[in-house]
Amino acid sequence: MAAPNDFVSEVHTVEKFDVKTNTIDSQKGSDVEIGESDLITAGSAHLQRKLGGKQVQLFAIGASIGTVVFVSMGSQLPISGPAGLFLAFAIWSMVAYGVNECFAEMVCYAPVPAPFIRFSGEWVDDALGFTQSWVFFFNQVLLIPFEMTAFHRLIGFWTDKLPVEATVFILIFLYCLTNCVSVGWYGQAEFYLSIGKVILIFLCFGFTIVTMLGGNPLHDRYGFRYWDNPGAFAEYLTGGSTGRFLGFLSSLTFATFTVAGPEFIAMVAAETKSPRRILPAAYKSFPFRLLFFFCGSALAVGICIPYNDPTLNAILNGEAGGSGTSAASPYVIAMQRLQISGLPHFFNAVIMTSVFSAGNGYVFTSSRTLYSMALEGRAPKIFTKTLRSGVPIYSVLACIAFCLLALLNVSDNSAKVMNYFVDLVTTNQLLNYMTTCITYVHFYYAMKRQGRSRDSLPYKGIFQPYTAYICIFMTFLMTLLLGFYIFFPGQWDLKFFFLDYTFLVLYPIAFFGWKWAKKTKYHRLGTADLSLGGDVKEIDDYEELTEVKPLTGISGWMERIFGGVYDKKNN
């Protein structure tokens, strides 16, 4: 088997450029020559550019798709009904696409470590960068124990004999193995894990299409039967049209947690070879991921079972076992109803690899965020330490320490623990998206007022800056509406009030506190320094001194299929 570095992007350097001396060294003879280390780390602050197109593309899929798409989405079906669930995901996917356009244009222009966090600090206000960095860090690091909790509950599909502690420490060992050795090892592991996830999604779609047309042991051609009976919309909290709207709104808030992706591409920008060639392809594929993975899943689960399915409701109400396992998946419930044996066990096993992949991705993104924060002086300097392989080792270990939060399952119900993490993370995710769109507005006007054409950028977002304005409004609105249900009679819960709104209060406190302590300066629209202290020029030189090799053999074929990368070089 080839070593992980054999699988990196098909790019090599013609000559070696020393960014410190601005000289070219064509000296040959050793594996690591003068200037080579500078070239591989160009604009990446000692991280190493080793990831290829297929790894970046599959990482974006792997980190954003976990147990929610396969299992938890079914929990919204009794609340909103199939049409309400599908509409919620369709509408929020349009907002997510707008956010993607803001990320893509800035990140492809300056693929530096934790780019959107650095942009907000240097292009808007250092206090905003400080606040966003910690918001995003907690967003990612709290998802690690969330996925670990989900993994343990999936084991419960077969047995409840395995203690929580065993699951936690086994996963900690595996996360260390994939994240502490080399980014090449990490990229290769995520590539194959994410392929399995994509295959599973298409198997779910195939199952839905075949069985709804009568291809099942009962020969039941059920089609869209459940959209007619019991109906397309369910009622939530109250009856009538108001109840149906509230059901839709509940699923919309759920979609804000589930639909993600552009930030994960951004987090590997500094470790991507020839980023201005590879990253645009990854961002351009995001609308298709939205359509097939999120909207497609929301449609499929509403076809498989009715929203009043007795098995699903018994599991969700605690009257039957299996909550949080694949037994609660609409697909598994449909398999059992249609008397299809064997598939539920296979389905549960593949979902477990999906959940592991998502948790693994969160370790990566949270550690890179912490590393970038330390570089900017927003976290202790010890987290800037990297191994010779480019792995920020102390940042990785600090993030893996958060895995211990999964031990909360020992003293509390795992379903409750998962809900705690979901509420905390959703607020942070929305605040991060809102901040990135605000940063984009400053980037847009800096380009315009400094006489730089956006047509020259590696990626040009659509309908800007109006897309950014719409996304700022929608993300802020949904942040306010996250806990809407607790304000209805009989629904008040102080615990979930704090879970939903604590970070909304801490956000301005952190911003003004850092601004006061550091006396930071706000950069007015159009005045941002787009050079990022010379890092953009460094990346320009790196891209200029790389030559694209023809994509040949199996590796080249995989780059085209999975990475969307071709021989042509973006200029």
In the prediction, which pLDDT does 233 show?
A: 95
In the prediction, which pLDDT does 197 show?
A: 80
Residue 548's H or E segment, with its range, is strand 546-548
Q: What is the mean pLDDT of the chain?
A: 81
Distance from C-alpha of 374 to C-alpha of 45, rounded to nearest angstrom: 11
In the prediction, which pLDDT does 554 show?
A: 52
Judged against a pLDDT cut of 60, whether residue 99 lies above it is answered with yes
In the prediction, which pLDDT does 70 show?
A: 79
Judged against a pLDDT cut of 90, whether residue 428 lies above it is answered with no
Tokens encoding 494:
């102080």
In the prediction, which pLDDT does 410 show?
A: 59
Judged against a pLDDT cut of 90, whether residue 60 lies above it is answered with no
In the prediction, which pLDDT does 32 show?
A: 31
Are the C-beta atoms of residues 567 and 551 closer than 8 Å to each other?
Answer: yes
Are the C-beta atoms of residues 560 and 566 closer than 8 Å to each other?
Answer: yes
CA separation (Å) from 516 to 118, 442, 508, 519, 521? 19, 22, 12, 5, 10
For 401-469, the three-class secondary structure string (H helix, E strand, C coil) is HHHHHHHHHHCCCHHHHHHHHHHHHHHHHHHHHHHHHHHHHHHHHHHHHCCCCHHHCCCCCCCCCHHHH
Q: 26-35, 333-342, 372-381, 417-426: which has the minimum mean pLDDT?
A: 26-35
The pTM of the full predicted model, rounded to 2 decimals, is 0.83
In the prediction, which pLDDT does 37 show?
A: 41
Judged against a pLDDT cut of 70, whether residue 159 lies above it is answered with yes
Judged against a pLDDT cut of 50, whether residue 235 lies above it is answered with yes
Higher pLDDT among residues 24 and 117, named by residue: 117
In the prediction, which pLDDT does 413 show?
A: 56
In the prediction, which pLDDT does 411 show?
A: 57
For 208-260, the three-class secondary structure string (H helix, E strand, C coil) is HHHHHCCCCCCCCCCCCHHHHCCCCCCCCCCCHHHHHHHHHHHHHHHHHHHCC
Judged against a pLDDT cut of 60, whether residue 132 lies above it is answered with yes
Give the percent of the chain with pLDDT over 70: 82
In the prediction, which pLDDT does 293 show?
A: 84
Give the percent of the chain with pLDDT over 90: 38
Q: How confident is the model at residue 213 (pLDDT cuts 50, 70, 90)?
A: very high
Q: What is the pLDDT of residues 344-369, one digit of tens each?
A: 888 888 888 888 888 888 898 899 88
Q: Residue range 549-563: average pLDDT?
A: 52
Q: 31-45, 140-154, 349-363, 515-529: which has the minimum mean pLDDT?
A: 31-45
Q: 25-39, 332-346, 383-397, 469-483: which has the minimum mean pLDDT?
A: 25-39
In the prediction, which pLDDT does 305 show?
A: 92
Q: What is the pLDDT of residues 264-282, one digit of tens each?
A: 888 888 878 888 888 898 8
Q: What is the pLDDT of residues 25-57, one digit of tens each?
A: 433 333 333 234 444 455 555 566 777 777 787
Range from 312-326, 364-378, 385-399, 460-474 that averages highest in pLDDT: 460-474
Half-sphere exposure of 218 (CA within 13 A, CB side): 13
In the prediction, which pLDDT does 23 show?
A: 36
Strands 11-13, 16-18: pairing is unpaired
Q: How confident is the model at residue 21 (pLDDT cuts 50, 70, 90)?
A: very low
Are the C-beta atoms of residues 150 and 69 closer than 8 Å to each other?
Answer: no
- What are the two backbone dihedrals, phi and then psi, of residue 327, each rounded to the nearest 5 degrees? -65, -25
In the prediction, which pLDDT does 546 show?
A: 66
Judged against a pLDDT cut of 50, whether residue 14 lies above it is answered with no
